Amino acid sequence: MTAPVAIEVHDLVKRYGGLVAVGGVSFTVCQGEIFGLLGPNGAGKTTTLEIMEGLRRADAGRVIVQGIDVLAHPRQARALMGVQLQEAGFFERLTVAETITAFGRFHRQSVPVPQLLSRLQLEEKARTLVENLSGGQRQRLSIALALVNDPQVVFLDEPTTGLDPQARRNLWDIIRSIREEGRTVILTTHYMDEAEELCDRVAIMDHGTITAIDTPVSLIQTYAPGAKVFVAPHRQEDEEQIGQQLRSLPGVAGVESNGNGEITLLTGQLEVTVGALIELGRNGEVHYRSMRIEASNLEDVFLKLTGRRLRE
Ligand SMILES: Nc1ncnc2c1ncn2[C@@H]1O[C@H](COP(=O)(O)OP(=O)(O)OP(=O)(O)O)[C@@H](O)[C@H]1O
Ligand SMILES: [Mg+2]
């Protein structure tokens, strides 16, 4: 972490009655990075974000954005922030351009509408009613609104949920370009591929606490090093017996069934394990129909840290 600190979060706590939605969360975000909060539904991501944005009161803790205490000076802090809410409420009967203009009026300074339309690839939709936008266009509009006050720090709550793969990639490019302008981006997601591809650093969040924070590569190296080899036996009934045989291959740290007729080998020494596996096949000791290899990912990290999958 060489860049200056943009955001400091100290020991945030938020309870709803007996439920601890956020149970003592601390982290820092550097200027010009894309920082992700990754976790399943109900992990406390939105609650954390909205406290940082000054939209919800914390029961305890402090948030400092660009040196300003958000709880003590919410107006001053909010002038530095751009906010995209998880549930964006639009006026459906306004056009895209009218919506941006209307939101710009809430701020002391605002970016010219044509600039935002072009920035978010919405020029052709300027006169379209919001109710007639596609899901991806709505998301782009909500990001335009988050940029309307030319903020230093941009908060995006699940920016790509519900979008098709192409629209997601398009939004990722837009979010990267926000970083290229020197702004700091903090986003939430429950997509591990989004966190892995887009975020410079990721905080893994579960049940209101952060269990690990690092770059995606370091998280994987620390918590789920190695790779997975999926082996499909010729005959389903051989699965258990072959699983036993494969357990003793060199480098294998674990053997699981993935429920799709494949045996999953976890290995820290991919070349050695696969070499031995091929040798077994060549000798005719094991017959398998297919073999495929996948590098570990943040899903494996989450599984290791929490004992559960991100999406169950
Ligand atoms: N206003 C509220 N009143 C009571 N409980 C709430 C309120 N807002 C959130 N919660 C609860 O707090 C917990 C965390 O919710 P939060 O919305 O922060 O999760 P999240 O990680 O953003 O989930 P999702 O991925 O579904 O958006 C959940 O159990 C939720 O039901
Ligand atoms: Mg949420």
Q: Whose alpha carbon is nearest atom 3 of ligand 1?
A: 16
Is the CB–ligand 1 distance for residue 14 below 6 Å? Answer: no
- Residue 189 above 70 pLDDT? yes
Give the pLDDT of residue 33.
97
Candidate of 45, 190, 191 to mutate for ligand 1, largest count of ligand atoms within 8 Å of Cβ = 45
CB-based contact 290:242 (threshold 8 Å): no
- Going from the Cα of 205 to the center of ligand 1, the distance in angstroms, rounded, reads 13
Helix/strand/coil for 201: strand
Give the pLDDT of residue 195.
95
Q: Whose alpha carbon is nearest atom 24 of ligand 1?
A: 41
Kindly state whether residue 248 falls inside one of the protein's structural domains.
yes
Kindly state whether residue 270 falls inside one of the protein's structural domains.
yes
Kindly state whether residue 253 falls inside one of the protein's structural domains.
yes
List CB contacts of 201: < 8 A, sequence separation 6 or more.
Answer: 29, 33, 35, 36, 213, 214, 215
- Going from the Cα of 47 to the center of ligand 1, the distance in angstroms, rounded, reads 6
Confidence band for 310, pLDDT divided at 50, 70 and 90: confident
Kindly state whether residue 45 falls inside one of the protein's structural domains.
no
Give the pLDDT of residue 234.
85
- Phi and psi based region of residue 239 (left: phi greater than 0; alpha: psi -120 to 50; beta: remaining): alpha
261 lies in which domain range?
226-295
- Phi and psi at residue 148, to the nearest 5°: -65, -30
Q: Report the chain's mean pLDDT, rounded to a whole number.
A: 92
State the CATH number of the domain containing residue 271: 3.30.70.920
Angle at 237 between CA 235 and CA 241, to 5 degrees: 100
Kindly state whether residue 185 falls inside one of the protein's structural domains.
no
- Going from the Cα of 18 to the center of ligand 1, the distance in angstroms, rounded, reads 13
**Count of domains for the chain:** 1
- Write the pLDDT tens digit of every residue in 19-77: 999 999 999 999 999 999 999 999 999 999 999 999 999 999 999 999 999 999 998 99
Over range 244-267, report the average pLDDT: 88
Confidence band for 4, pLDDT divided at 50, 70 and 90: very high
Confidence band for 246, pLDDT divided at 50, 70 and 90: very high
* CA–centroid distance for 42 within its chain: 14
Kindly state whether residue 238 falls inside one of the protein's structural domains.
yes
- Write the pLDDT tens digit of every residue in 265-285: 999 899 999 999 999 999 988
Over range 150-171, report the average pLDDT: 92
Kindly state whether residue 252 falls inside one of the protein's structural domains.
yes
- Write the pLDDT tens digit of every residue in 109-119: 899 999 999 99
Kindly state whether residue 309 falls inside one of the protein's structural domains.
no
Confidence band for 235, pLDDT divided at 50, 70 and 90: confident
Give the pLDDT of residue 312.
54
Is the CB–ligand 1 distance for residue 21 below 6 Å? Answer: yes
Give the pLDDT of residue 135.
87
